Structure 1
Amino acid sequence: MDAQLSELARDIDSVCRLSGEFTLRSGLIASEYFDKYRFETDPDLLRRVAEAMVPLLPSDTEMLGGLELGGVPIATMVSSLTGLPALFVRKEPKVYGTRKLAEGHEVDGLDVTLIEDVITTGGAVRNAALALRELGADVRTVVCAIDRSEPGQNLLDSIGVTTRSVLTKRMLDASRA
């Protein structure tokens, strides 16, 4: 890992890793919690993550699809850095107004690269990729800030979506050593 990524991993870990008593989604109680929103709401860390994502974008990317909620600020920053338009992808279509799944420009016929904050199993990205494909988008890649998936856990390979990550769980853990 190069020095810049090592420093980014260390800085994200120090800002996002919290100690205390936390109830996890599973209902279990943990003494440590990784609050990903802390790097997404820190302008310096957000910019540094976005800058590290830019070289990971496929050259044929025509639009960035930021996934609700964590992918939206990152996609906005990457859009600002690259000039590529951004699209905000909901977990479910709105039930009112335009009833859209994806807010922004039309995606039919465009190469859309998804932007996500953290991937553990890839379930939300999988659902978004399939939904955008139904709208006519060509979705083959997701670029994420942190890939926490264990071998065989990431569901994206099964639908032909490649994961490119700035950092991994292993890199964050190593930054604390």
Structure 2
Amino acid sequence: MSQAWNGMETLMRTGVLKEGHFVLSSGRHSEQYMQCAQLLQYPHEAEEAGRALADLFHDSEVDVVVGPALGGVIIAHETARALGVRCLFAERKEGVMSLRRGFAVSPGEKVLAIEDVVTTGGSVQEAVDLVEGLGANVVGIGSIIDRSGGNTNFRHPYKALLAHTIESYNKEDCPLCKEGIPVEKPGSRQTVKA
């Protein structure tokens, strides 16, 4: 890991870890939420995190880095810069992950998929499936934060800069709801009703 990236200290200093009452993209409720955009708004911090992710995959041959929009765009770019390769992002069109804006991968290209936070791994897996469907070879998956608790079904090596567990509850069992604490819906994905 890059000596310049300080893990939890960096996340706390940049305001990534939020405290309150949140509805996560899964629909579950939590007292914590991680918003990596708070870190990635600072170019130097994004560069350091990208360099640290590139270091995790230093033994892998990589031709291109791909990140799912929106959370994976900046960190994928910074990881690609550190590796000296090009960067693409995948985005949803009518609910389906696709490469747009003239982006393409060639059959046999070696792809590293990068995300900001992996919780279920759904978005980054969609990006992996997309590039594999176009004939690319995925060499690994990386993220700044692993919130999955080991609950991903990735077929490729997965590495994260930091693992962090956030307790979550079904709405019906949420102690914060029972206390009447107002709920926030952060993030970029559509969530279920609170």
Bin of the TM-score, shorter chain as denominator length: 0.7 to 0.9
After the TM superposition, which parts of structure 1 deviate over 6 Å for at least 4 consecutive aligned residues?
Answer: none
Matched residue, 1:175:
none
- What value does the CA root-mean-square deviation take over the aligned residues? 2.9
Matched residue, 2:42:
42
How many Å separate the matches in 2 of 1:4 and 1:120? 25
Classify the secondary structure of the residue corresponding to 1:78.
Answer: helix
Q: Where in structure 1 are there 5+ consecutive unaligned residues? A: 173-177
Matched residue, 1:168:
163
Matched residue, 1:155:
153
How many Å separate the matches in 1 of 2:107 and 2:94? 17
Rate the CA distance shift 1:110–1:144 in 2: closer, same or farther, 3 A: same
Q: Per-residue deviation at 1:144? A: 1.0
Contact residue 111 and residue 136 of structure 2 kept, 8 A: yes
Within 5 Å, give how 1:97-176 maps onto structure 2: 100-103=98-101, 104-151=103-150, 153-156=151-154, 160-169=155-164
Question: What is the percentage of aligned positions where both structures have the same residue?
Answer: 27
How many Å separate the matches in 1 of 2:68 and 2:98? 14
How many Å separate the matches in 2 of 1:123 and 1:94? 13
Rate the CA distance shift 1:24–1:3 in 2: closer, same or farther, 3 A: same
Which protein is richer in helix relative to its size? 1
Contact residue 120 and residue 148 of structure 1 kept, 8 A: yes
Within 5 Å, give how 1:27-106 maps onto structure 2: 30-57=30-57, 58-92=59-93, 100-103=98-101, 104-106=103-105
Tell me which of the two structures has the higher relative contact order, counting C-alpha pairs closer than 8 angstroms and 6 or more residues apart. 2
2:149 alignment partner AA = E
1:163 alignment partner AA = Y
